[in-house]
Amino acid sequence: MSEQTKPDSRAASATAMPLIVTLVLFAALALIPLLATFYGGGWLTSLAVRAMLLAIAAISLDLLIGHGGLVSFGHSAFIAIGAYTCGIMITEGVDEIALILPVAMAVAGGFALVSGAISLRTSGVSFIMITLAFGQMVYFALGSLAQYGADDGLTLWAAPGFLGGKWLASDIGVYVTVLLLLIGTWALVHRITGSRFGRVLRAARQNPVRVASMGYPVRRYQLAAYCIAGIIASVAGVMWAVQFAFVSPSLSAWQSSGDLIVMVILGGMASRNGALIGALCFILIEESLSAITNDWRLIFGPFLVLIALYARGGLAGLLDRMRGPQ
Amino acid sequence: MSLTLLILQILNGLQLGVILFLIAAGLTLVFGVMGFINLAHGVQYMLGAYLAVFLYGLTGNFVAALVLALPLALLLGLLLEFLVFRHLYDRDHLSQVLATFGVILFLNELMKMLFGPATLSVPPPEFLNFSFKLVDGLLYPAYKLAVIVAGLLVALGLWLVITRTRIGMLIRAGATTPDMVSALGVDVRRLFLCVFGFGAMLAGFAGVMAAPIFAVEPGMGDNLLIVAFVVIIIGGAGSIRGAFVAALLVGLVDTLGRMLVIDGLRLIMNPSAANQVGPAISSMLIYVLMALVLFWRPQGLFAPKAAR
């Protein structure tokens, strides 16, 4: 994004420092497969892939929550749509990711277009609830796919090829692909939020009436953001199916959508690295706490309460404050 | 579809509706009066059920367990309000969602730790442990009928409190114009506390009543909470009457829909496929209903101003 075209609040405070944090995070993620050869092995890489896929979904959700002020409580439905599209196509014998990915994105985009057009007629709490309703519909619809495992989920017996090659059949191939997708998503979302489109979105969050009176079709902008976020999340879903070779309706359970929201808030909304840090820390905290005790939620629950009560701006905000007032 | 089956499903629908109403009543007041999204309200229902299990184990008497559980549920609700929720009233919805989500995680895990992950149950009280013969060949447990009757009585009592008493008047006023009520010298915080504790007790009551019918397990309130939110969105936030109508509607749609959808699907596909697809599609019905209501009447069927 160009430096001279971002006069608004959060993005303007983006100095060189957050960019270094981003680069450090990406570099650390790139080194994990190397670390895994010494410690953790497949468990570590699979954990990192899970964290990165959730980070992709969280970054796309931040486009809605943080920038658009649209609290979607059904975002994990798009992950599930992507995962199931992949699972069903592979089961049906289409094992080419170059075909699967566009189809998944089209299905997610179509669903986002319809559900978004309906949901965006409401706002505030009603929007939260209606997106929740759509998420639940997807959850139950996936559970009804009798020939694709129904409630029990669907196991993928083959990894998809990439332009005929066996790239995605190896762990490292999947890892690199997911990492590149994460970097791509991060760059894309920041390109979007820094653009005129992103500024209209943020302005509409603060004062939709005024933006509308300036001649912007507010709802169309929000719908576009909703579709973009849904499509990005579906890409994470496709890779989820590839990595774990198993998809189940619980991907779109409302608790999963809740987890995504937690990641965004934990990291800090509408900040350069917030959703990324949030998702990585969420997985890190989950793993390290569950290593200490089976009842890790006893610690994690109150931790969320404290974050909600006291940590305004999330972890990214905390990082900003550690650098002192500017 | 036979008539007996229809009667059975209507009774089951009413029973689900009544339990939903008990949960939704507190939720809609908290939501309508305070504008507070309390995801942890379903946990109050779970606490009620676990209190029933615990107190039944202690006293060996269901009625005693019920009588003891109610004040304890009230106390637990007030404790949560004091520790967490009161700091959230003037925060945005997102913080409320996050904090109450954390409370859910904590309490679900705590119950799992204290009582184990297995499902528990409580036998219904002795004097209700028999079955009515509704029509030939159809027995219906007296306890389930008692749940319906108790729920309807609570609904009646609640309606009297809301429409006939001073505190009810304040709640109604608070649901429509909280700022004005506050400006007129009413201690809104205390009103909130009152509403909150009462709502927690109703949800706890629902939990105790549900303990002999449903499996008592960690997270048992989570899915019912989502359905209770569907109820208050359909009924209109802040309206007890709306919550009542919507709860019965959702209860009936959910149970009757289950049967009708499967029967309907059998007409167009083979029976085994219909049996597999049917339950999932009928589970979607209430969400479709809610989406339709939100689409046509975003404020709900009985928004507080229209409620009287």
Q: What is the pLDDT of residues A86-115, one digit of tens each?
A: 999 999 888 888 899 999 999 999 999 999
Size of interface A-B (CB pairs under 8 A): 131
Q: What is the pLDDT of residue B1?
A: 52
Q: Does A263 touch chain B (CB under 8 A)?
A: no
Q: What is the pLDDT of residue B306?
A: 40
d(CA B20, CA B14): 10
Q: Which residue has the tokens 């994690």?
A: A300
**DSSP string covering chain B:** --HHHHHHHHHHHHHHHHHHHHHHHHHHHHHHHH----TTHHHHHHHHHHHHHHHHHHHS-HHHHHHHHHHHHHHHHHHHHHHTGGGTTTS-HHHHHHHHHHHHHHHHHHHHHHH-SS-B--PPPGGG-SEEEEETTEEEEHHHHHHHHHHHHHHHHHHHHHHHSHHHHHHHHHHH-HHHHHHTT--HHHHHHHHHHHHHHHHHHHHHHHTTTS-B-TTHHHHHHHHHHHHHHHH-TT-HHHHHHHHHHHHHHHHHHHHHHHHHHHHHS-HHHHHHHHHHHHHHHHHHHHHHHHHH-TT-TT-HHHH-
Inter-chain residue contact B290 with A122, CB threshold 8 Å: no
**Three-state secondary-structure class, residue A164:** coil
Nearest Cα to Cα of residue A72 among A137, A126, A139: A126
Distance spanning both ends of chain B, measured CA to CA: 39
Residue segments in chain B with a per-residue pLDDT below the cut of 70: 1, 134, 304-308
Q: B3-307: what CATH class?
A: mainly alpha
Residues β-bridged to residue A116 = none
Other CB atoms within a 10 A radius of the CB of residue A289 amount to: 17
**pLDDT at residue A7 is higher than 50:** no
Inter-chain residue contact B280 with A141, CB threshold 8 Å: yes
**Residue-range domain boundaries for chain B:** 3-307
Inter-chain residue contact A140 with B95, CB threshold 8 Å: no
| Closest residue in chain B to residue A125, using alpha carbons only | B93
CB-CB neighbors (< 8 A) of B103 in chain A: 301, 305
In this complex, the residue of A118, A140, A298 whose CB is nearest that of residue B283 is A140
Cβ-contact B103, A301 below 8 angstroms: yes
Query: What Å distances lie between residue B180 and B171, B185, B197, B302, CA to CA?
Result: 12, 9, 23, 21
Contacts for A201-205: CB closer than 8 Å, 24+ residues apart: A201/A63, A201/A67, A201/A68, A201/A225, A202/A8, A202/A67, A202/A68, A202/A270, A203/A8, A204/A68, A204/A69, A205/A67, A205/A68, A205/A69, A205/A70
Residues β-bridged to residue A247 = A154
**DSSP string covering B93-124:** HHHHHHHHHHHHHHHHHHHHHHH-SS-B--PP
For residue range A164-197, what is the model confidence (pLDDT) as tens digits? Answer: 777 777 888 899 999 999 999 999 999 999 999 9
Q: Which residue has the tokens 């979007």?
A: A192
Cα torsion B62, B65, B69, B71 to 10°: value is: 120
For residue range B152-208, what is the model confidence (pLDDT) as tens digits? Answer: 999 999 989 888 998 888 888 877 777 888 888 888 888 888 888 889 999 999 999
Q: Does A80 touch chain B (CB under 8 A)?
A: no
Write out residues 86-145 of B within 8 Å (CB-CB) of A. 87-88, 91, 93-99, 101-110, 112-113
Higher pLDDT, A53 or B124: A53
Going by pLDDT thresholds of 50, 70 and 90, the confidence category of residue A158 is: confident
Going by pLDDT thresholds of 50, 70 and 90, the confidence category of residue A160 is: confident
CB-CB neighbors (< 8 A) of A295 in chain B: 109, 112-113
Q: Does B196 touch chain A (CB under 8 A)?
A: no
CB-CB neighbors (< 8 A) of A128 in chain B: 37, 93, 97
**pLDDT at residue A139 is higher than 50:** yes
Cβ-contact A166, A272 below 8 angstroms: no
Helix (H) or strand (E) holding A222: helix A218-244
Q: What is the pLDDT of residue A321?
A: 74
**Three-state secondary-structure class, residue A288:** helix
Instruction: Give the mean pLDDT of chain A.
Output: 86
Q: Does B233 touch chain A (CB under 8 A)?
A: yes
Q: What is the pLDDT of residue A325?
A: 55
Q: What is the pLDDT of residue A6?
A: 42
Higher pLDDT, A215 or B174: A215
| CATH number of the domain located at residue range(s) A14-322 in this protein | 1.10.3470
Q: Does A206 touch chain B (CB under 8 A)?
A: no
Q: What is the pLDDT of residue A326?
A: 47
Write out residues 253-292 of B within 8 Å (CB-CB) of A. 273, 276-277, 279-281, 283-284, 287-288, 290-291
- A165 phi and psi, to 5 degrees? -80, 170
Interface with A, mutate which of B98, B230, B283 (most A CBs under 10 A): B98
The alpha carbon of residue A168 is apart from the nearest alpha carbon of chain B, in Å, by: 33
